[in-house]
Amino acid sequence: MNNNRINNVINDEIREEIVEELQIGRTASALGSRESIDILRLLADNEPDELSRSFISDNTGISPNRISGYLDSMTRAGIIKQCYLGSESMISLNPECRGIRQLAELLDRLLEIGGSKRNKSANIMVTLNSGYLHQLCVMLTSLVQSNPDMLIRLYVVHSSLSEEELAQAGAVLGDHGTVHSVRIDKNDFSDAPTTDRYPSEMYYRIFAAKYLPESLDRILYLDPDLVVNGSISGLYETPFDGALFAAASHVGNFMTLINSVRLNASNERTPYINSGVMLMNLKALRERQDRDRVFRYIEENRNRLILPDQDIISALYGPDIKLIDSYRYNMTERLFALHIEAKTWLDVDWVRKHSVIIHYCGRNKPWKPGYIGKLGIFYDNAEAELKRRLSRQ
């Protein structure tokens, strides 16, 4: 082989390596954000189907105004293909993009690490309107502070929050997690009973399995009016053992019986739960939940419902609810003050050491005038920490 041919072969090999490195560089750059990784995961879960931009936006929480930039960058890198069905852009993975899944997994891991070692993650769901945005930020501050090594994937299910309001939650999480917006049409629940105290947002948790991405198997629902005082890993990893929900009850045997009768429950011993803290078996709910049955129950028992969301969940799914320790995972002022036979009555230090979640349910809340109680100190501390963090940004 003469020198020219040798040089040509070498040049071809070098050229091929350069092209491959450039391709890898473009791919890595296009996947260098949590949003692009989420898009890739969604496309992979639905392969070989083509997905519309609106579907991707709805299932990743990325707004329609922002999603175009991510999709265009991924198209230029050869990661995805776009075609048009009428005026609708349809997106799918590019089968010719080599090693894309392996690279995505690597980048996903690097993003989860976020500069520190995070071995665990949790899907968290909240439902609210703008009236509880500040309390949400306080709750998230306490969640991050008590779980510094956990990656939080926050799913905000709502019908009215703006991008600016959602960004406030994202600012609190920082590199500890991501925020996914799940917007719901209020007309879906126009016939459901609501009051000023119990808005339509409370029904979103009943049908969480319908609205959340199908890739999620479990999620921990948390009310905004609580603070997290410890690691949620034990609660989040609770085995369902076939149950649809894991939640706490705040009532004894007598009131359990009264509520069973009031709600026309099929079983007199149906547990009556507090829906402010619920671990939800999304996979089983998708398979077993009957939406029509829920609305039939609401229509037939409209006048019996006092706290509609937890009334409905308790009445329809009581046998499929796994009870958790209320003192540990759903501590309230009422439990603290009235259960004088329990250790929790002794002092706040017991709560500080043993209660993972402190829930300010009912009308007696530490941010409202006339608050009476001892557990407001946990909210005050979390709010002060939120102010300190915001002042440093």
pLDDT of residue 32: 56
pLDDT, tens only, 186-240:
788 777 766 666 677 778 889 999 999 888 999 999 999 999 999 999 999 999 9
Give the chain's mean pLDDT: 82
Helices 34-45, 53-60: crossing angle, 10 deg rounding: 120
HSE, side-chain direction, 13 A CA sphere, residue 297:
21
| 3-class state of residue 317 by DSSP | helix
- Report the DSSP pairing between strands 150-158 and 177-183: parallel
Q: Does residue 312 register a pLDDT over 60? A: yes
Distance separating alpha carbons of residues 11 and 165, to the nearest angstrom:
55
pLDDT of residue 96: 73
Tokens representing 130 are: 């703008």
Please work out, in degrees rounded to the nearest 5, the angle formed at the alpha carbon of residue 15 by the alpha carbons of 12 and 19: 140
pLDDT band at 342 (very low <50, low <70, confident <90, very high): low
Q: Does residue 17 register a pLDDT over 50? A: no
- What's 244's DSSP letter? S
* Average pLDDT over every residue of 20-48: 64
pLDDT, tens only, 151-170:
899 999 998 898 889 989 98
Burial of 135 (0-12, 13-18, 19+ CB in 10 A): buried
| 3-class state of residue 312 by DSSP | helix
Query: CA-CA distances (angstroms) from residue 96 to 80, 93, 117, 243, 326?
Result: 9, 9, 34, 43, 53
Q: Does residue 107 register a pLDDT over 80? A: no
- Report the DSSP pairing between strands 120-127 and 150-158: parallel
Please tell me the pTM assigned to this model. Answer: 0.72
Least confident of 78-92, 106-120, 179-193, 288-302: 106-120
pLDDT of residue 202: 72
